[in-house]
């Protein structure tokens, strides 16, 4: 659609704010935007996988392709989140600073990776 399409317009005079002057300096930038995206939680993955293959393809194209909204970033929650169907983590062994017991959960391997 036109959500990210650049457009220009004019402010109309309002009796509510007489004398209001708004000046925009578009040459001054305060932050850099790396991109746009969403979160791929367990709940999102479960819902995507519940769709038919053609619907999955259409959904992913709608998000990531040039004919869609062109997301270029995805956030993956680390271990479970409040959008998971069960609590889990990657390493519950105390003092395992070398992460010898680190292991991805089946949700990560089957639904997200």
Q: What is the 3-state secondary structure (H, E, C) of the chain?
A: CCCCCCCCCCCCCCCCCCCCCCCCCCCCCCCCCCCCEEECCHHHHHHHHCCCHHHHHHHHHHHHCCCCCCCCEEECCCCCCCCCCCCCCCCCCCCCCCCCCCCCCHHHHHHHC
Number of domains in the chain: 1
- pLDDT value of residue 8: 82
Whole-model pTM above 0.75? no
Average pLDDT, the chain: 88
- pLDDT value of residue 19: 72
pLDDT at 59 over 70: yes
The answer to whether residue 43 sits within a structural domain is yes
**Selected residue with higher pLDDT from 3 and 76:** 76
The answer to whether residue 106 sits within a structural domain is yes
The answer to whether residue 4 sits within a structural domain is no
The answer to whether residue 56 sits within a structural domain is yes
Write out the residue range of the structural domain in which residue 87 sits. 37-110
The answer to whether residue 28 sits within a structural domain is no
The answer to whether residue 94 sits within a structural domain is yes
The answer to whether residue 27 sits within a structural domain is no
């Amino acid at each position: 659609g036109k959500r990210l399409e650049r457009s220009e317009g004019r402010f109309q005079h309002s009796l509510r704010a007489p004398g209001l002057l708004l000046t925009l300096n578009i040459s001054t930038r305060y932050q850099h935007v790396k991109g746009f995206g969403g979160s791929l939680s367990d709940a999102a993955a479960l819902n995507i996988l519940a769709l038919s293959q053609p619907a999955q393809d259409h959904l992913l194209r709608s998000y990531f392709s040039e004919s869609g909204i062109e997301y270029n970033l995805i956030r993956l929650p680390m271990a479970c989140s409040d959008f998971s169907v069960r609590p889990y983590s990657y390493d519950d062994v105390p003092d395992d600073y070398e992460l010898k017991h680190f292991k991805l959960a089946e949700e990560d391997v089957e639904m997200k990776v």
